[in-house]
Amino acid sequence: MRRTYIFFLLILILEVTAKAQSLTLESPDKNLKVKLLIGGEISYELAYKNKSYITPSKISMSLSNGVILGNQAKLTGAKRTSVNRQLRPLNGISDLVKEKYNELKLQFKGGYSLTLRAYDEGFAYRYGTTFKDSIRVMSETSEFCFNANYPAYFHPALSESEYRLQKISEQLQPNYSSLPVLVKASGLSILIHESDVLDFPCLAIRSDYKRQNTLTGVHSYFPRKTEVGGYSNFGLIVKETEPYLAKTAGSRFFPWRLLAVAENDRDILKNQLVYMLASENKLEDISWIKPGKVAWDWWNTMNLTGVPFKAGINTATYKYFIDFASANHLEYVNLDEGWSDQFDLLKVNKDVDMNELTRYAKEKGVGLILWCVWRTLDRQMMEALDQFQKWGISGVKVDFMDRDDQILVRFHERLLKEAARRKLLVNFHGAYHPNGMSRTYPNQINAEGVKGLEWNKFDSLGTNPVHDVTIPYIRMFAGSMDYTPGAMQNYNRKDWRLIPDRPVSQGTRCHQLAMYIVYYAPLQMLADSPTAYEKEPEYLKFLSSVPTVWNETVPLSGEAGKYVAVARRKDDTWYLGAMTNWDRRELPLLLDFLEPDKKFIAEIFSDGANAERSGNDIKHDFMEVKKGDRLDISMAGGGGWAAIIRPANPDRKL
């Protein structure tokens, strides 16, 4: 009898303990539910509208002192908080972000915490530590165990590649994807990414070798030995690594690991979870940070025509670019590779009079942005940035990092701090995908991390419309995207060729035009030659007028890899952009977002009747519209569509 009593008492204790170590967190709309399991390990589950999508997935972090965050965890405290507030980004897809979430912060014996947040838009978690001395992080376990073998979009390179659609458990080579990763679950799109990555390597994922339907996190280890290499010796290639990921402060929060959710792909276009989770602005003065458009010299190989001088890397050519920018209200000109010695930023090209150029640009009201090799700028950072400040330069375009270890993440932050002290913008190229740094340091005005238009200049496959309508749902979710659109010679799939010194795009002219609305980029390039634009004034007028940051964004329709349509507002004017893959497409666009009881004039650019044969063919129309109207648009294969909708002026004739 006594043994039976003890047996049942033990069962009761175990049941109570198990219950106490199972905690739940719901999103404000109660659609998303997270269950945290605390025992020998910490794991989480995720369900949406009562359907399980993530089965128990382990999360832990191992330190060099033998401590494993999340192992044999002993809970010492729990605090629940609900937040409902408004954020106002400096430059974004909207000027108001409504942040609403439920938070659960858990304290554990041993000096660490785990914070979980459930938003209507997704779920995020991160560890924090409160150790006195610095620590070494040996490894981190981040599992994403799905309930089925769903299709997933892998990005099998750090910075720039096509997206590869595969099943979660397909171990294609390379078995690697940088983030974000889009998983097309049954009835739900789920994006895996991270935010607030400071002084820590970036997260990537792979298909798990042992566990079905599972993606696991991987990191770059801390470099021990590097040597010069890569394209034109612009990079530092890691040859040996330390046995740890990071050496960092003992008291800190680690990056957020996040899962964003969307029932319809189009809703990804307005999901700002990465921004919301990032650290707040650390710069005291941000009044000087100005978005805008950029005349770019490199992609078009300075192919100026009808000018009285020999175009090239010289003062006369750059002055022409400055004149073009000034005449068309473009805020900046980018001086790309060649203005200086690539390995000595203080050694200016003998054919470039930098003092005269900076004087001339200032006179014309145009800012200059200088391209730099990252390892050169890293070595010369203080003296180079000081010189740029003396010249009156507006920003730097930093290239060829091609790594995401702790050293490179530190370089990003250090450069942003030093650049801000000198009122310099920073545009990262050859870089890992954005993960919230632009909120923390708003002078990060843009980032590449995308296979963009430049690949039509040196890659036999180039970039195509299928890729172009995939990246808004994956790469652009991470943050602003320097795709560098604007090609003036546009070809169909059959006729396109790689022409390095006179590059052309795949798809139609309207496909390129729509990118200026669909692709979010506070610093947006005009990639082609000024004289090419000047020959088509209606097209140039559109490019001159389209904003680069927005007051409001309304996704209209779309599906990753197939098509995209979005409306964005600036002041009282709406800009609509739509793009399709290689399929012809008819698409209804409802104008429900317009202000009621008002008339508007829509200026419309659409694919011409012969756009599939000659991609440059474009049609330009005007029509009256009002709230509730439906526009039935037609796009050629590889095509696009764009419109500017302004309040009607009674004195204006169509």
> Which residues are tagged catalytic?
399, 454
- Residues paired with 193 in a beta bridge: 258
Using alpha carbons only, give the angle 480, 482, 486 rounded to the nearest 5 degrees. 130
Give the separation between CA 179 and CA 193, rounded to whole angstroms: 6
Instruction: Tell me the residue type at 100.
Output: K
Give the separation between CA 16 and CA 8, rounded to whole angstroms: 12
Give the separation between CA 470 and CA 154, rounded to whole angstroms: 12
Q: Are 527 and 453 in contact (CB under 8 A)?
A: yes
Give the separation between CA 37 and CA 20, rounded to whole angstroms: 10
Torsion angle, alpha carbons of 235, 238, 239, 241, to 10: 160
| Tokens encoding 617 | 């063919």
- Residues paired with 334 in a beta bridge: 296, 369
Q: Are 560 and 474 in contact (CB under 8 A)?
A: yes
Phi then psi for 388, rounded to 5 degrees?
-60, -40
Ranges of beta strands (E only) in 486-629 are 490-491, 505-506, 523-526, 552-559, 563-570, 573-580, 585-590, 600-607, 618-625
Give the separation between CA 204 and CA 156, rounded to whole angstroms: 10
| Tokens encoding 425 | 């913008």
Which SS3 state, helix, strand or coil, does residue 364 take? helix
How far CA 32 is from CA of 23, 38, 204, 220, 261, in Å, comes to: 14, 20, 24, 32, 9
Q: Are 441 and 435 in contact (CB under 8 A)?
A: no
Nearest to 281 by CA among 196, 381, 385: 196
Instruction: Tell me the residue type at 406.
Output: Q
Q: Are 339 and 304 in contact (CB under 8 A)?
A: no
Q: Alpha carbon 524 to chain centroid distance?
A: 13
* Exposed/middle/buried for residue 623 (C-beta within 10 Å: 0-12, 13-18, 19+): middle
DSSP character at residue 434: P
DSSP 577-598: EEEE-SS-EEEEEE-TTSPTT-
Largest interatomic CA distance in the chain? 107
Residue 185 region by backbone torsions, left for phi larger than 0, else alpha for psi between -120 and 50, else beta: beta
Q: Are 524 and 537 in contact (CB under 8 A)?
A: no
- Provide, for the chain, the percentages of residues in helix, strand and coil under a 3-state DSSP scheme, each rounded to the nearest 5: 20, 40, 40
**How many other C-beta atoms lie within 10 A of the C-beta of residue 83?**
13
| Tokens encoding 566 | 């979005």
